[in-house]
Amino acid sequence: MADNSPNIDILIRRLGHPFTDTSLVELALSHRSVGAKNNERLEFLGDSIVNYLMAEALYKQFPDCREGDLSRMRAQLVKGKTLAEIALEFELGDFLRLGPGEMKSGGHRRESILADTVEALIGAMFLDAGMDVCREHVVRWYQSRLESMTIQGTVKDAKTSLQELLQSRKQSLPHYKLLTITGSDHQQQFTVECQIEHLKQGFQGVASTRREAEQIAAQAALELLQQHSQQHSQQHSQQHSQQHSK
């Protein structure tokens, strides 16, 4: 961490949990670019915990909700964008420990790094104080988002929507193929192709993460299939009208 970085105690106060072992916080803030002693294991732990805590919170909040809707709502809450928003609320970027290359490339603002660090901090909190304390603080961080969550307002991601559309038509599921990875380690670009068996063309997506590139490719495929459905419906409607007018 740079010498002019804010004191870690400031962040601990913002998080709301007085850590007994502050070295866990320091480890959670350490990106892999600083070396072998980094936050990847804590991130792995925190990822599982935040998924569990949000599943539990949604299960209690929506007693009549079906499993599929609960899964989609949880996906909205634990996705990288939401975690990065929480990181920004804590001004987490100011406290990150980054290697020189990552620091120069603006890693303290990168959504994926911010999201991973929030997960690492959740893992650190769990190790420091256990699940009950972790639940108390994480649910508080998410409180406004949980309160605004509605079943109707849940938006399916493109990959889920595409899969469900193809399943409803009893067609083969899409296949995602990684075509290229370009750029430096700190600024990679992933090109992914979504392949659908009965269509003769592939649909490409390009983004800074493979997951996002897959979503972009899926969205392109979904839009074409929906366009075909609309055209088919219009043709059917016109034929019906012509037959009715005879």
Catalytic pick from 43, 102, 116, 119? 119
Assess whether 212 carries a catalytic annotation: no
Give the whole-angstrom CA distance, residue 123 versus residue 38: 13
- Bridge partner residues of 178 (DSSP): 192
Give the whole-angstrom CA distance, residue 41 versus residue 120: 8
Cβ atoms of 192 and 176 closer than 8 Å: yes
Give the whole-angstrom CA distance, residue 118 versus residue 123: 9
Q: Exposure string (b/e) for 183-211, b if CB count within 10 Å is 16 or more?
A: eeebeeebbbbbebeeeeebbebebeebb
Assess whether 91 carries a catalytic annotation: no
Catalytic pick from 43, 47, 116, 193? 47
Nearest to 125 by CA among 33, 42, 210: 42
Residue tagged 């620091």 (tokens): 103
Q: What SS3 string covers 14-34? A: HHCCCCCCHHHHHHHCECHHH
Contacting residues for 122 by C-beta, under 8 A, at least 6 apart: 45, 46, 49, 50, 134, 138
Catalytic residues: 47, 119
